[in-house]
């Protein structure tokens, strides 16, 4: 039985990366003429067409939405999916989900697969690796051909498309301010590396709130954790000198990990250390003590993203090139981890 | 632009259910001749073909696996997906996920969509509504046409396909026995309705363990919770007389909810009440106290399901009609919620 040629197979065969194949087939000048020619000839020989978007757009609509997200273990992405499903189903659309697993290559391959006539448009949040590389050629390719994308949470600033975000700076500002008003004076932040935009923006909001109130910003008081699943050791080392009386964490896993470590050190929460998290998921609700958190409104974001996409898909003015960035309001949900 | 006719649209148009349309188009005798004719003529008029599986099988392989699961908010299904992704990617397959949202209709519609040439085979776990109705015509249709399905966790006994399950009876038996060995004498069980096979089997295992050791089984000591998301009130009422010194819960959400309610009643865990859960997810690891639990090996189950499916897809003997049920060994993970 004939096996379909894929970007990945071409990459393996010619010993280049998937993104090189992807770019070469789009005749990108980032790739040397020699490599481009080699890849294009190989593709031609096997009659491989990288992207039939234009073709599918000329034909009938699929009434399907493709969702590409980094992973589903975290509650936030799961709630976004619920919102997408709710609105999509109301409007007669089906939802197909693919995971990038935080991998750039998987994101490229999944987008390429879905864009080939399986769906009408994308709702997506970028993989960590894509943010790190700042390589968005696969998104540009899709939008250039007229297939709409709505990005949420982890967005690329320089891609022209609709975006659904929270104001991360303002939210972190609000959370930091809240800790200061509760008389915390030695604040620590547990964040992600700066290439993850939400981590960078929340770090910025944290710093701004401190400066606005006349506190010094100590870079030693900001921990940037790369490996979310194995954050324990890093957080333990960060907390070991016991100097913080208030902590802000950019997700609930960091917050609950810090809470457990502090309790293990004999600290009482919130008496000795107050904690504010981001994401109102299972962990925030069921941890002991329960966590005060910034609710990210994942369900609402997913619903808005789907509504926006469907509006674009069903608009008579497909050529309309105005894009909107919707900022969803966050709320601080007070629970037991703050006084 | 032409809109594609779907099962759902035909159902709406003719004011019948989606499964009636689905069955009528397969000429099922469950549907009256009159209705069948009406639906078939409508479909013919619009040139609607319900299922092009046979067609797609004759053509090339897609190298894609379709995964249909009830939801992704719970950790178990998220870990299964990780396992499917791992093995599928190793073997050069892509994974497409659709959610049934515990709805029979959505399961039928999603299967129909994916089976239409988008994928080579399915990995799936049934929706609660499908289990309740015991209506598996959509699965039978797919397998009859030669497209393989591997089911996991929530399986249909009378569908001939490969299955990956845990021995739920044995696992509940082991957990109950463990509580009895820890000197608990008044055991309660928090389970799901019996139509969910895992709930029914775990209830059976609980009862068997009690009887084997000469304890009476009191049906009042078994709570069957329908609405998982809003289980709090029911569990509170169940625990209010304070008679249990040991609890088994069929998922970690029930367990952590019970733990919080008991602690709110002034009980100490595990001193006053010992608790054992199912699923080794975030909640079990991060609850206070952490939960002793039966690890369901979701990652392993997903990996096995994908491996089994790909093996079938790549076998030279596509007509081979032997099916296997793989029973994945569970393990009891001891944590703070038991003495």
CB contact under 8 A, B98 and A101: no
As a whole number, mean pLDDT of residues A101-117 equals: 91
Question: Is this prediction's ipTM beyond 0.85?
Answer: no
Q: Half-sphere exposure of residue B33, counting CA atoms within 13 Å on the CB side?
A: 0
Instruction: Round to the nearest angstrom and report the end-to-end CA distance of chain B.
Output: 66
More confident residue, A146 or A278: A278
CB contact under 8 A, B3 and A60: yes
Confidence of residue B27 (pLDDT cuts 50, 70, 90): confident
pLDDT at position A57 over 60: no
- Report field, pTM of the whole predicted structure over 0.90: no
Residue A222 to chain B, least CA–CA distance (Å): 23
pLDDT at position B146 over 70: yes
Q: Does A88 touch chain B (CB under 8 A)?
A: no
pLDDT at position B58 over 80: no
CB contact under 8 A, B282 and A287: no
CB contact under 8 A, A72 and B78: yes
Per DSSP, what are the bridge partners of residue A151?
A: A124, A163
Residue A231 to chain B, least CA–CA distance (Å): 13
**Cis peptide leading into A316, omega within 30 of 0?**
no
Q: Which residue of A has its CA nearest to B95?
A: A98
Q: Which residues contact B101 (CB under 8 A, 6 or more apart)?
A: A85, B70, B71, B127
As a whole number, mean pLDDT of residues A110-129 equals: 92
**Domain over A61-163+298-327 is classified CATH 3.40.50.2300:** yes
List all residues of chain B from 280 to 319 with a beta carbon under 8 Å from chain A.
Answer: 282-283, 286-288
As a whole number, mean pLDDT of residues B274-281 equals: 94
CB contact under 8 A, A61 and B283: no
Distance CA B230, CA B225 (A): 9
Distance CA A239, CA B273 (A): 33
Instruction: Give burial (CB, 10 Å; 0-12/13-18/19+) of B105.
Output: buried
pLDDT at position A3 over 60: no
Distance CA A25, CA A13 (A): 15
**pLDDT tens column, B246-269:** 999 999 999 999 999 999 999 999
pLDDT at position B5 over 90: no
pLDDT score of A198: 86
By mean pLDDT, which of A296-310, B39-53, B230-244 is the weakest? B39-53
Distance CA B305, CA B293 (A): 23
**pLDDT tens column, A152-200:** 999 998 898 999 999 999 999 999 999 999 999 999 999 999 988 889 9
Q: Does A81 touch chain B (CB under 8 A)?
A: yes
Minimal Cβ distance to A98: which of B95, B99, B263: B95
pLDDT score of A4: 61
Pick among 3.30.450.20, 3.40.50.2300, 3.55.50.30, 3.20.20.80: CATH of B168-296: 3.40.50.2300
pLDDT score of A25: 82
List all residues of chain A from 170 to 209 with a beta carbon under 8 Å from chain B.
Answer: none
**pLDDT tens column, B321-332:** 789 999 999 999
The answer to whether B61-163+298-327 and B168-296 have equal CATH topology is: yes
Q: Report DSSP state, residue A27.
A: T
Q: Does B55 touch chain A (CB under 8 A)?
A: no
Decide: helix, strand or coil at residue B89: helix
Average pLDDT taken over every residue of chain B: 89
Average pLDDT taken over every residue of chain A: 89
pLDDT score of B319: 56
Distance CA B64, CA B327 (A): 25
Minimal Cβ distance to A98: which of B96, B253, B257: B96
Confidence of residue A317 (pLDDT cuts 50, 70, 90): low
Confidence of residue A53 (pLDDT cuts 50, 70, 90): very low
Confidence of residue A295 (pLDDT cuts 50, 70, 90): very high
Q: Does A2 touch chain B (CB under 8 A)?
A: yes
Q: Residue A65 — φ and ψ, nearest 5°?
A: -110, 130
pLDDT score of B49: 65
CB contact under 8 A, A63 and B3: yes
Confidence of residue B155 (pLDDT cuts 50, 70, 90): very high
Confidence of residue A51 (pLDDT cuts 50, 70, 90): low
Residue A144: both structure tokens together: 């250039």
Confidence of residue B148 (pLDDT cuts 50, 70, 90): very high
As a whole number, mean pLDDT of residues B158-172 equals: 94
CB contact under 8 A, A99 and B97: yes
Percentage of chain B beyond pLDDT 70 is 94
Annotated domain spans of chain A = 7-50, 61-163+298-327, 168-296
Confidence of residue B88 (pLDDT cuts 50, 70, 90): very high
Residue A3 to chain B, least CA–CA distance (Å): 6
pLDDT score of B21: 86
Pairing of strands A292-295, A331-333: antiparallel
Q: Which residues contact B284 (CB under 8 A, 6 or more apart)?
A: B252, B255, B256, B277, B290, B291, B293, B333, B335
Minimal Cβ distance to B62: which of A4, A82, A99: A4
Instruction: Give burial (CB, 10 Å; 0-12/13-18/19+) of B319.
Output: exposed
**Cis peptide leading into A253, omega within 30 of 0?**
no
As a whole number, mean pLDDT of residues A45-55 equals: 60
Q: A9-18, A22-31, A210-219, A228-237: which has the highest mean pLDDT? A: A210-219
CB contact under 8 A, B72 and A95: no
Confidence of residue A56 (pLDDT cuts 50, 70, 90): very low
């Amino acid at each position: 039985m004939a096996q379909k040629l894929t970007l990945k197979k071409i990459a393996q065969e010619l010993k280049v990366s998937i993104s090189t194949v992807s770019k070469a087939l789009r005749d990108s000048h980032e790739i040397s003429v020699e490599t481009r020619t080699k890849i294009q000839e190989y593709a031609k020989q096997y009659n491989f067409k990288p992207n039939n978007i234009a073709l599918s757009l000329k034909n009938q609509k699929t009434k399907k939405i493709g969702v590409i997200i980094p992973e589903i273990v975290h509650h936030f992405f799961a709630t976004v999916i619920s919102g997408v499903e709710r609105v999509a189903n109301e409007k007669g659309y089906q939802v197909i989900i693919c995971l990038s697993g935080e991998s750039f290559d998987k994101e490229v391959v999944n987008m390429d697969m879905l864009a080939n006539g399986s769906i009408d448009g994308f709702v997506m949040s970028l993989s960590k690796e894509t943010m790190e590389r700042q390589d968005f050629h696969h998104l540009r390719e899709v939008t250039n051909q007229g297939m709409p994308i709505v990005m949420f949470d982890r967005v690329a600033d320089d891609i022209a498309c609709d975006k659904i975000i929270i104001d991360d700076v303002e939210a972190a500002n609000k959370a930091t301010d809240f800790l200061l008003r509760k008389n915390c004076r030695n604040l620590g932040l547990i964040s992600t590396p700066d290439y993850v935009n939400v981590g960078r923006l929340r770090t910025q909001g944290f710093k701004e709130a401190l400066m606005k109130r006349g506190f010094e910003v100590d870079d030693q008081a900001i921990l940037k954790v790369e490996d979310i699943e194995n954050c324990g050791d890093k957080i333990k080392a960060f907390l070991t000198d016991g100097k913080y009386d208030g902590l802000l964490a950019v997700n609930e896993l960091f917050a609950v990990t810090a809470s457990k470590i502090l309790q293990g050190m004999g600290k009482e929460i919130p008496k000795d250390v107050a904690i504010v998290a981001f994401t109102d998921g299972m962990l925030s609700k069921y941890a002991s003590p329960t966590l005060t958190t910034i609710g990210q409104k994942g369900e609402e974001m997913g619903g808005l993203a789907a509504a926006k996409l469907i509006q674009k898909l069903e608009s008579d003015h497909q050529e309309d090139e105005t894009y909107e960035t919707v900022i969803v309001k966050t709320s601080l949900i007070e629970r037991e981890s703050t006084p």
